[in-house]
Chain A
Amino acid sequence: EAGVVQSPRYKIIEKKQPVAFWCNPISGHNTLYWYLQNLGQGPELLIRYENEEAVDDSQLPKDRFSAERLKGVDSTLKIQPAELGDSAVYLCASSKTSNEQFFGPGTRLTVL
C-alpha cells in the first residue's frame, strides 16, 4: 500500500513569492490534515479536511495561506506571499478513522 505522497520534497523561494505544496493521501482515507513543523518542534495542525470539507481551519493564517481539496482526494496548500518565518516543514497526513494518522515525508520550505 502506497503511503502519503507529497511534492515537492524541498522548495527554496524568495520572500514575497507564492508557493504551493501538493499531497495525495492513502487511498480510501477520507480525512486529510496539513501540519506545520518548525525545527525542533512537534507538528501543529493547520487544517483538517473530511472529504472535501474543511472542518477545522482555525489555525490556518488565512491572510496568506489557503488550501483546497476539490474532489475529496488530493490537496494543495498555498502560501502567498511567503514570509521568512514560513520556513518550516509542511506535513500532510491522512486517516481512515479518528485514531491513526499516517504522515507523508513533508515538504521542507526555505524562504530567503
Chain B
Amino acid sequence: QQQVKQSPQSLIVQKGGISIINCAYENTAFDYFPWYQQFPGKGPALLIAIRPDVSEKKEGRFTISFNKSAKQFSLHIMDSQPGDSATYFCAARGTASKLTFGTGTRLQVTL
C-alpha cells in the first residue's frame, strides 16, 4: 500500500523558473516530512524537512509548504538552476522512525 503519493513523475522547468513538486499522505501518525535529492549514481541526500506543526519552512531557494488538514505537502524550488536537475523524493516518518518514500520526481532544468 503506497502511503505517500508524489506528483508529477517528471518536470521540465526553464532556468530561473519555479519548480513545484507535490506529495500527499494518508497516515496521520506521520510526524516528520523530509525531501531528498538524488543525483544519478548517488544516494539520496536530505534537502529540507518539516514537522506537521509548521505550515512553511524555507531554506535558501527551497521551501516546503505543509497543509495538515489536506494531508499534503509540497516542495518549491525558486530560481531553478541547471544544477538542480535531479530526482526528488518526498518522504514521511511513521512509527519506529520508519521513512516511507514517494515514487520520485525527475526534474530537468533547461537553459
Report which A residues bind B (CB closer than 8 A): 4, 40-45, 48, 55-56, 91, 93, 98-106
Are A42 and B32 in contact, with the CB atoms below 8 A? no
For A102, list chain B residues within 8 Å (CB). 45-46
Flag whether B99 is at the interface (Cβ < 8 A): yes
For A101, list chain B residues within 8 Å (CB). 46, 99
- How many angstroms between the C-alpha atoms of A45 and B44 in the bound complex? 14
Of B14-22, B61-69, B72-80, B101-109, which stretch is located at the interface? B101-109
Q: Which of B15-44 contact A (CB under 8 A)?
A: 32, 34, 36, 41-44
Nearest residue (CB) in B for A3 is B43
- How many angstroms between the C-alpha atoms of A44 and B4 in the bound complex? 12
SS of B interface (majority)? strand
- How many angstroms between the C-alpha atoms of A102 and B36 in the bound complex? 10
Residue among B41, B49, B98, B104 making CB contact with A99, cutoff 8 Å: B49
Please give 6 more A-B residue pairs, beta carbons under 8 A apart, in addition to A40-B103, A42-B103, A43-B44. Answer: A42-B4, A43-B99, A48-B97, A100-B49, A101-B99, A102-B45
1/0 per residue, CB under 8 A from A, across B69-104: the answer is 000000000000000000001010100111101111
For B36, list chain A residues within 8 Å (CB). 103
For B4, list chain A residues within 8 Å (CB). 42
